[in-house]
Amino acid sequence: SDMLELRLFAIGSIGSMMVFNYWHPVGFTLWLPFRWNALFLLTNIAWVVSMMRQNQMQWIDGVVEIESIHKHVFPSLSLNEFSSLMKTAQLKHYTKGDILTRELDASDWVYLITSGEAQLTQNEQLLCNLKHHHFVGTMGLHTSLYIDKAHTTTKVISPSLQCLQWKKEELIREIESNPPLLAAVDAALSIDELRKIIMNMKLNPTITNQKHTGV
């Protein structure tokens, strides 16, 4: 946008002035204007980051059914809190055969499937198939985000799969500084885990009964 271009131009100009102030022709650094320019530089950088996140949100909103995710996955969040969460998400596309998580491998991302289908397995046993509004890379509560290794394998089985994904460490920082967001994420992950358990029970009733009866 024009405003973003102006901010970037301002950053370049201020950076040039800081160089001039630091290596001034008089032979010494002009610290007062240098510090003021540093403040202006940081302010403009903050605006650019905010504007880029807003642009990302608008782009995601044009591709993903954002209202559906708000309504069905994070219904307790206010619009502002939900928008803040979405601004930190990345929209990614995968193709058939791609692996989102591999059992016992490092797991740095949390995924929310928005379209397509993936297969969830553990010890080479099929647990369930995941579709839209299912999470990948978690185990029911936000505390599972601290686990650095995947306990299941998730493989794309549809021709294409689209998802929103968050870097775990960034998501942890965001939700733990915002109690309503933390509660909403915990609720969403818990419901998602329950859905997976029910799907697994329907898919593997014999194995499930054996686990409960101790057979």
Could you report the per-residue pLDDT of 27-38, keeping only the tens digit for each?
Answer: 888 889 899 989
φ/ψ of 184, rounded to 5, equals: -65, -40
One domain, residues 90 and 165: yes
97 and 28 in a common domain:
no
Residue 50: pLDDT above 90? no
Residue 213 lies in a domain: no
Beta bridge partners of 118: 130, 156
Burial of 38 (C-beta count, 10 Å sphere; 0-12/13-18/19+): middle
Continuous H helices in the chain: 2-22, 31-63, 66-72, 79-87, 168-176, 179-203, 205-213
Indicate whether 94 and 39 sit together in one domain. Answer: no
pLDDT computed for residue 209 by the predictor: 47
Query: For the chain, what's the residue count?
Result: 215
30 and 115, same domain (yes or no): no
Total structural domains within the chain: 2
Q: In this structure, are 40 and 93 located in the same domain?
A: no
State which residues form the domain around 112.
Answer: 66-204
Tally of CB atoms within 10 A around 153: 20
pLDDT tens string 133-167: 999 988 766 677 778 888 899 999 999 999 999 99
Alpha-carbon gap, residue 195 to 72, rounded angstroms: 13
Bridge partners, residue 135, by sequence: 112
Query: Which residue(s) pair with 154 in the sheet?
Result: 101, 120
Q: What is the pTM of this model?
A: 0.66
Dihedral Cα 127, 131, 135, 136, nearest 10 deg: 60
Clarify whether residues 54 and 74 are in a common domain.
no
Same domain, 85 and 151: yes
